[in-house]
Chain A
Amino acid sequence: MSELIWLIPLLPLIGFIVNGLGRNAFSKSMIGVLGSAVVLISFVCSCMLFFDVYQSRQAGQPGVIEQHIFDWISVGHLKIGLSFLVDPLSAIMLLIVTGIGFLIHVYSIGYMHHDKGFGKFFAYLNLFIFFMLLLVLGSNYLVMFIGWEGVGLCSYLLIGFWYKNSSYANAAKKAFVMNRIGDLGFLLAVFLILGTFGSLEFSTVFAAAKNFAIGDIAVVSITLLLFIAATGKSAQIPLFTWLPDAMAGPTPVSALIHAATMVTAGIYMIARSNVLFVLSPFTLQLIAVIAICTALLAAAIALTQNDIKKVLAYSTVSQLGYMFLGLGVGAFTGAFFHVLTHAFFKALLFLGAGSVIHGMSEEQDMRKMGGLKKAMPVTYMTMLIGTIAIAGIPPFSGFFSKDEILANAFVASPILWGLGFIGALMTAFYMFRMLFMTFSGSFRGTAEQKHHLHESPKSMTVPLIVLAVLSVLGGGINLPEALGGNHWLADFLSPVFAEGKALTPVTNHLEHSTEYLLMAVSTIGVLIMAALAFNTYVKRQQIPEGDEAPRAFLSRLSYHKFYVDELYESLIVRPINWMSAFFGNIVDQRGIDGLVNGAGKATYDTGKVLRLLQNGNVGFYLLMMVIGVIAIFVYGLLSL
């Protein structure tokens, strides 16, 4: 299999081209089958590849396969190849991207069935998978950057999929532009890496990096720039506001791109570059601080949102914050573990939400839902599992990954743990709030909606069930020692993080007793929050008020998303628009062009005046001549 790595990204690309060209000619079922099949074959190839890596790891090898495809850019000493790297980290990421990607393709066959742009949708999804695979497989920073920007393009195309709605198109543009801010950071980091290490290949860079001192200014700058890139793609403060808006896209897109895969690219990239980041403790601290702030801010916003997708979107931002917290405290495995489990349960939750929206005739406001339990039993059960998983109730997957991050945060600083714990409480509350508002109580929608209410077709529920199973069992791959596990994932990934780990100063290990205590505290807290949500939304049947209703200060802040969008609007967007008009109308047209025209006009006017001298009066000419002659004489005398 190792020689056929290129097949994995190529297949979705072929799917994109064929479906793209034949989007009007082929039947919907053919497009759907083709689009899903190419991803399925990629998934099978990825499984085989994973098995190769697994065997190599079993044999005590690092499990690294590199493949050079062709020279992409070569100028002077600069040689950048299009080449792939498969190691334990990318092998698992490949499984996530193609596996969940395949499920979401299948789901989309049902979800998008009535859409006119069915063919276009599948073409874009395939293109996304292609770029995401390039991002994951790249063996150097520039190939990763192809994927990095490419997924941004697909995100743009898919958020604005229903392009006739101008607010959707705006959301798409916002996502692209905010990502581009991060991308500039990435590109500058690339230049700096080239300047510092003379190469962009991961293997060369990381090998060379080991010889750098901790806190080396070049490495600190590189990591800071890479982190800026990650804040864009993975929606962290200050570049997170595009992600909630990205919910304008069709729900499968939100599940695939804006929850399970693309937004975790930042975590993947940092985990991949762990050697560099370990060398820069300052960056890691900054990441931890930004991460916990993002996690708390987004969770606080999610508490009061009424749009089911918005709740999930802010939840994603918040969970990404947890992953970055893991990176920040040096728990690279923990962070990646959370990437994995989050991919399962968040994809599940989004697809479940999509199923609800589908059943509710495109309604997204939870205030108009309620009591869907009976009509949509499969969706309900699977979403319940997803909610339990994300809330972190054992033994579901989210518990283990979140616990690992929080335990590591505790080692770094109990304050970080405390804040993380508060975030976990909020998570439990808003998730159960969402679940209860949607599925419990009585139906609050229109009669029309009630009439159409139905469980989704098999193509949609089967992916839900698969993801639900994974959400339950996913935690098993990295059971902590304290619970009798053997940290399989950590062991499998160890070669990827070995170099970074070797550079990290040894930290005191967490006692098992402390770990049990932390687990117990967080589990009890989460259960209390779930009960509180139950009490509010099921027993007392409280339904949030309308948009205009007066709210208490904190609740208003949360409801209006802490006015971050408004802040950016007045601090950045408006000044730039003002500058644009000022530069265009005043500086350019009046100022610079005014000078140019002025010079032209002055010449013209001078000519007009001088022309009058040529008046044909011979006396005047004579006078001028005499003055001239005298002037020459005087000049001659003076210079003698």
Chain B
Amino acid sequence: MDNLFLLILLPLISALILTFLKTNAAKSIALILSLISLALTIPFLCAFDTNGGMQFEQNWTWISFLHIHFHIGADGISLPLILLTNGLMPLIIGTTFGKNYKGNFYALMAFMQAGLLLVFLALDAFTFYVGWEIALIPIYFICALWGEGDRIRVNLKFFVYTFLGSLLMLIGILYLYQQVPNHDFEWTSFIALELEDHTQRWLFWAFFIAFAIKIPIFPFHTWQPNTYTNAPAAGTMLLAGIMLKMGVYGLMRWLLPVVPTGVALYGQFAMILCVIGIVYASIIAIKQDDMKRLIAYSSIAHVGLISAGVFSWNTNGLSGATIQMLNHGISVVGLFYVLDIVQQRTQTRSLSELGGIAGKAPRLAIFFMIICMGAVGLPLTNGFIGEFLLLKGVFQYGFWFAVFAGLTLILGAVYILRLYQQTMLGETTEKTAQFDDVKGGELIILAIVSCLILYIGIFPNFLLNLSAGSVEVLSTFLGR
């Protein structure tokens, strides 16, 4: 059972099946199929050797005269993201059980899953680029068709903006292809190139901007709040939970090792952008009235810290980034799900119209509290492990960077507790006077999310061990 291609194939088959399902059974079938995907992931986790090398590699010639290969494989950086993708999918599908979605919605999700997996597994730049674009198209339709508000315009901007970034990356990839002596797109060929400094300079920007738009890193983030806010809850979870990790993963797989000198030259600049983004987005989050927008901005701050950890380029920062990508995924699914539950029952996202839900729905209040504590990084929650390692990494990079990045500890508490207070505490309002507590499927999803938050917070070593070897290898690329 070490056929990675199966992992990509299965969602594609799922997508095919689901497309034609018009009944309500689509949900359950989608859930079962996604659970099978998750189950298929487990053997890889068990068989994985944490020595840091590429494993489970599969390589087929795709277009022979251009030396394009379909080449996939996993190491300690990609495997946690495979786990994230396949682990979150069933949860996200579970959150849609109250919705009236048909098979085509789930087909798009499965299609996207295939694209994401391809991105995380690709060891050939062409394969990577194909996955990168494949993942974008379904999410565009999910957000544009099932979203709300000014969804068409907002999504057009999102699409064009990220596509622009992709083109920059494509130019970079094609250039690198030309430089490789026997003209191929292999990752190993790319990292073996010894590029001139001035080449690395522009290549850094081509890749960095592409990834920075996707993540998004300040100041390339302005598509994000509107897109997150107008997308359907499941779409937001896909975007924030999994898709933006493509960008961070890109930094770790295709930027750091390929243009190490470029990173050495401009890394500090990127670091400054990340840290500015953390403080800037946190401050904006403080005053948001729309709860989804609040979390959208908080997400910019969180991924800013993750990216800062990547650019700190040491074992702590990189390990922190890897584990925090998972943690952030779990957290945002929990957060957006709670917000969606509240919005479904009150028909509003405005904090000024909410309050007092804790009295009506104590179970929801408890789960929300756990999720919030994970988001502010309280020790013994998963968020702390990530934040601790990331800040430790940033601290090694520079004391003042850590001080400013560390403001997220304080500002995060301000906006998250405000969100909690304005929704859960205080007296009930007109909109929250009738509020049913969570039950059934909702309860299960929230319980799973909460347990994961606590479990990873207490026993993070399993995940840290997964990435340890590869992070060690990656950190040796520094200053090469």
Contact = CB atoms under 8 A, between A and B. Distances in A.
A47 interface: no
A176 B379 contact: no
Interface stretch (B124-132, B195-203, B345-353, B407-415): B407-415
B418 interface: yes
Contact of B388 (A166, A187, A195, A588): A187
Contacts of A633: none
Interface stretch (B175-183, B252-260, B284-292): B284-292
Nearest to B410: A180
Contacts of A146: 379-380
A184 B464 contact: no
Nearest to A165: B426
Given A166-B425, A173-B418, A584-B288, A592 B219 contact: yes
Given A164-B359, A166-B425, A592-B222, A74 B464 contact: yes
B395 interface: yes
Contacts of B358: 163
A581 B223 CA distance: 19
Given A73-B385, A596-B161, A177 B461 contact: no
Interface in A80-107: none
A194 B359 CA distance: 44
Nearest to A163: B425
Contacts of B468: 75-76
Give the most central of B403, B409, B427: most A CB within 10 Å.
B409
B388 A580 contact: no
A177 B316 CA distance: 27
A593 interface: yes
Contact of B378 (A71, A153, A583, A597): A153
A305 B468 CA distance: 57
Contacts of A583: 280, 283-284
A588 B395 contact: no
A235 B396 CA distance: 30
B287 A195 contact: no
Contacts of A183: 409
Contact of A149 (B359, B378, B392, B403): B378
B402 A600 contact: no
Contacts of B283: 576, 579-580, 583
A584 B157 CA distance: 19
Nearest to B160: A600
Contacts of B373: 153
B417 A577 contact: no
A150 B464 contact: no
Contacts of A170: 421
Contact of A593 (B222, B385, B406): B222
A78 interface: yes
Contacts of B356: 164
A173 B421 contact: yes
Interface string B281-318: 00111111000000001000000000000000001100
A160 interface: yes
Interface in A152-178: 153, 156, 160, 163-166, 169-170, 173, 176-177
A229 to B, nearest CB: 12
Q: How large is the interface on B (under 10, 10 to 19, 20 to 34, 35 or more residues)?
A: 35 or more
A181 B222 CA distance: 29
Contacts of B461: 71-74
Contacts of A576: 283, 286
Contacts of A584: 284, 287-288, 297
B392 A194 contact: yes
Q: Is the interface of B mostly helix, strand, loop or mixed?
A: helix
A157 B285 CA distance: 23
A73 B409 contact: no
Given A76-B472, A78-B316, A187-B391, A164 B414 contact: no
Given A74-B461, A584-B288, A180 B319 contact: no
A577 B287 CA distance: 7
B319 A75 contact: yes
A73 B219 CA distance: 34
A169 B287 contact: no
B94 interface: no
B391 A191 contact: yes
A145 interface: yes
A600 B287 CA distance: 29
A188 interface: yes
A150 B380 contact: yes
A432 to B, nearest CB: 38
A315 to B, nearest CB: 28
A364 to B, nearest CB: 22
A588 B409 contact: no
Nearest to A75: B319
A73 B414 CA distance: 27
B424 interface: yes
Contacts of A597: 157
B413 A163 contact: no
A188 B389 CA distance: 12
Given A169-B426, A188-B403, A580-B286, A75 B316 contact: yes
B460 interface: yes
Interface in B387-404: 388-389, 391-392, 395-396, 399, 402-403
A195 B222 CA distance: 37
Contacts of B464: 73-75
B473 to A, nearest CB: 12
Contact of B410 (A184, A192, A195, A580): A184
Interface in B341-394: 356, 358-359, 373, 378-380, 384-385, 388-389, 391-392
A75 B319 CA distance: 7
Interface string A48-74: 000000000000000000000001111
B319 A191 contact: no
Contact of A76 (B219, B319, B378): B319
Contacts of B410: 177, 180-181, 184
Contacts of B399: 188
A180 B413 contact: yes
Interface string B42-59: 000000000000000000
A191 B402 contact: yes
Contacts of A592: 219, 221-222
A576 B414 CA distance: 11
Interface in B168-199: none
Contacts of A74: 461, 464-465
Given A188-B402, A597-B157, 11 more contacts: A74-B464, A146-B380, A150-B379, A164-B356, A170-B421, A177-B413, A180-B410, A576-B283, A588-B284, A592-B219, A596-B222
22 contacts: A73-B388, A75-B464, A75-B468, A75-B471, A78-B316, A153-B373, A153-B378, A163-B426, A164-B356, A164-B427, A166-B425, A169-B421, A169-B425, A173-B417, A173-B421, A184-B409, A187-B388, A188-B395, A188-B402, A580-B283, A583-B284, A584-B287
Nearest 5 interchain pairs by C-beta? A593-B222, A580-B287, A146-B379, A163-B425, A76-B315
